Amino acid sequence: MKINDKILFGLIIGIVFPSLFIFFAGLIWFYSGQTESNIPAFLLFGAILGLLIDIKYLNRLIKKRYTLPIWFVIAIYGFYHIAILGFFMGIPVVNSVLGMLAGFYYGKKIINQKPSVVEQKLLIKQVYIYSGIIMGMMCILSGSIALLDDSTGENLRFIFGNIITITKPIIWAIVLVGGTLLILFNQYITKKVLTKTLKSDKNL
């Protein structure tokens, strides 16, 4: 199935600004008295601001999607990592899926910019290394929360039942081994999708 990257990346970028402004509006509401009747107005105002930015800049960003500054790409990638980590209550397993997105984006970027063979090999290596680094940061954040939270043991007992006795060393082992496996899988899936995207272009 051919993926329309213009629509895909348009949605990915377009969601960011309304989401951020809704979040900031929620923070302002929280620190300004927390009157429940006002929260819909705050959130709506944030959403409208985000949509106005989309209206003004989104089409331009979509057209320049493969020449965007690296800091902008990393910022969006980091935004989705944090959003997914928060949505899944600090468990970073689903964050690995973002490696597929990174691989697809940079595969398309290479196809469009046509770097030299040497530059292409270097870029592929950099992409899956940096993807792994960001995944590692998410695992460190998640692991730190798990180790500091007194309810982690109880939550793991709920998942594993009486199969194993949950102790602090067991939690450390889950954090270290699980985190390492997630980082390696994230690097693998990033490189796999990137190279597959390149190969699919050559077969057209």
> pLDDT, tens digit, for every residue of 30-80?
888 777 878 888 899 999 999 999 999 999 999 999 999 999 999 999 999
> pLDDT, tens digit, for every residue of 97-134?
899 999 999 999 999 988 888 888 888 888 988 998 99
For residues 17 and 53, the answer to whether their CB atoms sit within 8 Å is yes
Q: Residue 203 half-sphere exposure, CB side, CA atoms within 13 Å?
A: 7
pTM: 0.85
Cα→Cα distances 72→20, 68, 69, 155, 178, Å: 14, 7, 5, 37, 29
Burial (CB < 10 A; 0-12, 13-18, 19+), residue 195, is: middle
